[in-house]
Amino acid sequence: MVMKKRDEEESRYFKGVKTLCDSGIKKVPSKYILPVPERPQINVKESKKTSPRFKLPTIDLSLLQDCNGRSQVLHSLSKACHEYGFFQVVNHGIPNESQARIISTAKRFFELTYEERARYMSNNIRAPVRYGTSFNQLQDGVFYWRDFLKLNCYPLHKILPFWPSSPLELREEAISYAKKSKALFLVLMEAILETLGLGPSMLKELEEGTHMMVMNCFPSCPEPDLTLGMPPHSDFGFLTILLQDEVKGLQVKYGDEWITVDPISGSLFVNIGDHLEIFSNGRYKSVLHRVLVNSSMSRNSIASIHSLPFDSIVRPSPEIVKEDQRLYKDTDFASFLNYMTTHEAKQKQFIESRKLANIINPSFQ
């Protein structure tokens, strides 16, 4: 009897945070309560201490087309990738209206009944479409305050029939945003390759690479100091392009401190992923980030994660580093998925597993 009750309780959590909140809970269930050292430690005093000395790097992409401004933009981009691992972009070519529509569409998906959302629920992390909860629900000992819809976006003509048909506008809006996001990714990567002293020859492979769109829902939480929307982690790909609504929640690790990213109207947040860290042989490092939740408002975001094709090997570029100075093993997308099925994959554990030991005279510090 006790075992049956426990199984019923566990299955309730796998239905997602939105379902829990819709049931009217007033307390955070024990499944979501983090150990004390892992809980967010945010207060006004800390915020005041960190804010004066930190300014989120901002890249104005319109200046890439300016003969006088291009070199300065490339310098700023190189510095942002090397020192921070993240930056925001403005004048990026994705209109405010497009951003608003895809955020609104994501909200409407999470407002569907559980039965409608559950049609896309799967434990198969290789599924072309997957609705789920937490961060890595197959391995998470403690669950996180987040529901998500993951859409593989390449090749669109093959993937589209698997995408949800509700709400009615989801496919149209997701296709439109996916195309705009991929175009922006290629602009950013062309510039980043140039900062590394490389030509654009890799762009064709990146154009045909993996592209995953993740619609995130972080419902309001009755006890936000006990849990997180997502744990500290880095992303697997080359770049992640993040669109946020107006509700704060994203934090990035800068030095020893967690910095809250203020969503600036019209801008997009970009962070370096593990694959770019490997490709650049550690010159550009992937960044740890996490998500806070709050007690008054739900938060939505759209993450577009881009990398090489699924079967491609990611390795330190031979044009950047000699073979005896490489810091990382070869890897691929399948290695990451295999890692995710057997590990919690928090912090930067995956990329730590790809590092070579006993390296002497690395090319970059």
Question: What is the share, in percent, of the chain residues with pLDDT greater than 90?
Answer: 74
Question: Whose structure tokens read 């590990």?
Answer: 343
The 10s digit of each residue's pLDDT in 91-102 is 999 999 999 999
Mean pLDDT of 169-188: 98
Q: What are phi and psi of 344, to 5 degrees?
A: -75, -25
Band of the pLDDT at 250, cuts 50, 70, 90? very high
Question: What is the share, in percent, of the chain residues with pLDDT greater than 70?
Answer: 90
The 10s digit of each residue's pLDDT in 300-332 is 999 999 999 989 999 999 999 998 999 999 998
pLDDT at 342 over 50: yes
pLDDT at 347 over 90: no
Residue 245 identity (one-letter amino acid): D
DSSP state letter for 84: I
Residue 147 identity (one-letter amino acid): D
Q: Name the strand (E) or helix (H) holding 233.
A: strand 230-233
Half-sphere CA count of 296, side-chain side, radius 13 A: 3
Q: Name the strand (E) or helix (H) holding 301.
A: strand 299-306
Residue 160 identity (one-letter amino acid): L
Cis? peptide before 167, omega within 30° of 0: yes
The 10s digit of each residue's pLDDT in 98-114 is 999 999 999 999 999 99
Hey, what domains does the chain have and what are their CATH numbers? 42-353 (2.60.120.330)
pLDDT at 5: 46
**Token code pair at residue 125:** 């992390």
The 10s digit of each residue's pLDDT in 252-293 is 999 889 999 987 889 999 999 999 999 999 999 999 999 999
pLDDT at 151: 98
pLDDT at 8: 53
Inter-CA distances, 280 with 66, 124, 192, 212, Å? 26, 31, 10, 22
The dihedral through the CA atoms of 211, 136, 171, 178 has a sign that is negative
Contact 265, 94 (CB under 8 A): no
pLDDT at 215: 98
The 10s digit of each residue's pLDDT in 196-228 is 999 999 999 999 999 999 999 999 999 999 999
C-beta atoms surrounding 140 within 10 Å:
17
- Which residues, at least 6 apart from 45, have a Cβ–Cβ distance to it below 8 Å? none
Report field, pTM of the whole predicted structure over 0.85: yes
- Which residues, at least 6 apart from 242, have a Cβ–Cβ distance to it below 8 Å? 250, 268, 269, 270, 271, 301, 302, 303, 304
pLDDT at 53: 54
The 10s digit of each residue's pLDDT in 14-24 is 899 999 999 99
**Token code pair at residue 267:** 């801008």
- Separation between Cα atoms, residue 288 and residue 275, nearest integer Å: 14
